Amino acid sequence: MTANLPFLLSALVAVWATFMVVTRAVAIHALLYLVVALLALACVFDVLGAPFAAILEVIVYAGAIMVLFVFVVMMLNLGRPDSLRENTWIAPRIWIGPGLLAALLLAALADALVMAAPGGGRIAVIDTRQVGLALYGPYVLMVELASFLLLAGLVSAFRIGRHIRDEDAP
């Protein structure tokens, strides 16, 4: 039970933080909770024997992507009216349908994944070296595809963003 404690703690934090993300009305609060959730997930990854994934989660997700979000939130220049509007948008009664659907999905997923999952074994740490060998061995084509994807994302973000500047200029 003691060995399981870090996992349980991080999982609890992750779920709680995620719930807070979904329910916040102020964007920057939600963003900070999301960072918390991601950090907790990084802990979970470490417990599960994936240190490389944990490090990447912190650096790329909690670091880079979240900074992107923060930049955007800053550019949006949100204020008090926006938070108030958010509060009207997340009135209690519109939670019923989606909540029911999400609960159903959770039940179905838990039924499918957890009940059918094979029993646990000893946790073996899979270190960076193994991941790197797999990445540049059998998965090298996927790495290329991922690079294409990122390039495409870069180009389209650049293109879409340039329009804003052009329109703002005059």
Query: Within 116-145, which residues bind another protein (CB under 8 A)?
Result: 116-121, 123-124, 126, 130-131, 133-135, 139, 142
129 membership: H or E segment, kind and range:
helix 128-135
Place of tokens 């159903």: 104
E-assigned strand segments in 13-155:
none
* Rounded Cα–Cα distance for residues 24 and 95 (Å): 14
Site for another protein in 63-122 (CB under 8 A): 64-65, 68-69, 72-73, 75-76, 82, 85-86, 89-90, 94-95, 97-99, 101-106, 108-114, 116-121
Nearest CA-CA partner of 49 in 116, 130, 109, 119? 130
Q: Shortest approach of another protein to residue 120 CB, angstroms?
A: 3
Q: Does 149 bind another protein (CB under 8 A)?
A: yes
Angle between helices 66-76 and 27-47 (to 10 degrees): 180
Size of the site for another protein (CB under 8 A): 91
* Rounded Cα–Cα distance for residues 118 and 120 (Å): 7
Give the chain's end-to-end CA distance (angstroms, integer): 65
Q: Shortest approach of another protein to residue 161 CB, angstroms?
A: 5
Q: Shortest approach of another protein to residue 119 CB, angstroms?
A: 7
Member of 141, 160, 169, 170 binding another protein (CB under 8 A): 160
Member of 141, 167, 169, 170 binding another protein (CB under 8 A): 167
